[in-house]
A = this chain, B = another copy of it.
Amino acid sequence: MSTLVFGHKNPDTDSVCGAIALADLKKKLGEDIAPAMQGELNPESTFVLNKFGVAAPEVVTSYAGKDVYLVDHSDLAQSPDDLADANILGIVDHHKLGDVTTGQPLECWIWPVGCTCTVVASMYKYFDIEIPKDIAGIMLCAILSDTVIFKSATCTDADKEVCAKLSEICGESDLEALGIEMFKVKSAVDGTPIRELVLRDYKDFNMNGKGVGCGQLELVDLSIVDGIKADLEKDIRDLKAEKGHHTVLLMLTDIMKEGTELLIASDDEAVIESTFGIAPVDGKLWLPGIMSRKKQIIPDLEKTFK
């Protein structure tokens, strides 16, 4: 039985490409291993895999009895429901340390960088394994996506150095153009059901016993969602009710203006005001300079909930 490596629920490009790359590396290190994902590809990831001719991992939702590696998360809420019945061999991630625990020693490479693929690329270097051209291409895209073309507060020198190397290997030299091409795909909303947009890059958190959800749409221009903003606002209120959450947020991030309009559905908007120091108006808030859920939204919100 082969080992499976997979990213978080509602997979994004880093979760998918990180799993593919780690499986490639581990296979070359002698492990019988395959990438998987917990849900379907989003449009951005589909574009990235197609561009470099890489096959999509199989969708697998049950991991009981399997040996597994986790990438891009270490939170139980983002893991398969039956993770407790799997044998966790390792975690490769770039987030805060979550509540996953193990009964056996394991292998963790968790670094405070912009993207899991930056860590995986560094592992190739550590083990002195050559990165294949197609894998270099999809890792490069994952880093450009997670760091919003190096503009995000999460972006580090390590991310930029790794991208320079991946760019050489895959032959993509204009990273800004590649990034914008990808974000245009990511920005597309036409014909997509509202709920699908809300969940496109959405994560649930347990903050001191309260359920908090936060989605994010990264857009090349906020005007793209002008016509559907009221529908998005209604939908996060519905989602909050369905999940029994305290708060559901949707970040509308303008990657060119470098700021985020936050849509808020909450039992207590004062939590948002005390976190960001600005009072929401009509359930909305413009946060200049804020582009990273992981670094600029979640930690501050968790402090408020404490």
Q: Which residues of A contact B (CB under 8 A)?
A: 88, 91, 94-113, 126, 154, 294-295, 299, 302-303
Q: Which residues from chain B contact A108 at a C-beta distance below 8 Å?
A: 91, 97, 108-111
Give the complex CA separation of A166 and B294 in angstroms.
39
Query: A100: nearest residue on chain B (CB-CB)?
Result: B97
Q: Which residues from chain B contact A303 at a C-beta distance below 8 Å?
A: 103
Selected from B94, B96, B101, the residue in CB contact (under 8 A) with A99 is B101
Q: Which residues from chain B contact A104 at a C-beta distance below 8 Å?
A: 96, 112, 295, 299
A98 to chain B, nearest CB (A): 6
Q: Which residues from chain B contact A299 at a C-beta distance below 8 Å?
A: 103-104
Give the complex CA separation of A3 and B105 in angstroms.
27
Q: List 21 A-B contacts (CB under 8 A).
A: A88-B97, A91-B97, A94-B105, A96-B102, A96-B104, A96-B105, A96-B106, A97-B102, A97-B108, A103-B302, A103-B303, A104-B299, A105-B110, A105-B111, A105-B112, A105-B295, A107-B111, A107-B112, A108-B108, A108-B111, A109-B109
Query: A98: nearest residue on chain B (CB-CB)?
Result: B101
CB distance A101 to B97 under 8 Å?
A: yes
Q: Which residues from chain B contact A88 at a C-beta distance below 8 Å?
A: 97
Give the complex CA separation of A105 and B159 in angstroms.
15
Q: Which residues from chain B contact A294 at a C-beta distance below 8 Å?
A: 105
Q: Which residues from chain B contact A154 at a C-beta distance below 8 Å?
A: 105
Given contacts A97-B106, A103-B303, 9 further A-B contacts (CB under 8 A): A91-B97, A95-B105, A96-B103, A96-B104, A104-B112, A105-B110, A107-B110, A108-B109, A108-B110
